[in-house]
Amino acid sequence: MENGQDPADRLAAAQALAARHGWTVIDRAFDTTGATDPPTRPQLARLLSEVHNGKIHAIVSASRTDVSVFDDQYQRVLDQLRDRGGGLALARDETSL
């Protein structure tokens, strides 16, 4: 998300997806660093660490753009989640913004 944008709509979309599936949401997070490399985004890095440590099982997001607008970086995060035994759930399909 770009600096200055209100995350409320995106967080609400992710929350609604979790509610539809009956998933327990234990935390809400967003970065305001814009379209930077995901490893430089502190909240995404924290969530990946929590997946790795078994504190959470997956990340729920409004859309893939919340992870990265860049295909290679998005794929890297998907690979990291898979390698750590976690997943990513998107409220919108991967091709929508």
**What integer best gives the mean pLDDT of the chain?**
88
Spatial distance between the Cα atoms of 40 and 23, rounded to a whole number of angstroms: 28
For the chain, the structural domain boundaries read 37-97
3-class DSSP state of 63:
coil
**Of the listed ranges 7-11, 56-60, 91-95, the one predicted with least confidence:** 91-95
Instruction: Answer for the pair 90, 63: CB distance below 8 angstroms, yes or no.
Output: yes
- CA 78 from chain centre, in angstroms, equals 10
Instruction: Answer for the pair 77, 44: CB distance below 8 angstroms, yes or no.
Output: yes
Q: Is the pLDDT assigned to residue 8 strictly greater than 70? A: yes
- Tell me the per-residue pLDDT of 14-26, one tens digit each, with 9 for 90 and over: 999 999 999 999 9
Q: Is the pLDDT assigned to residue 96 strictly greater than 80? A: no
- Tell me the per-residue pLDDT of 54-89, one tens digit each, with 9 for 90 and over: 999 999 999 998 888 888 989 999 999 999 999 999
What's the first-to-final CA gap in the chain, in angstroms? Answer: 12
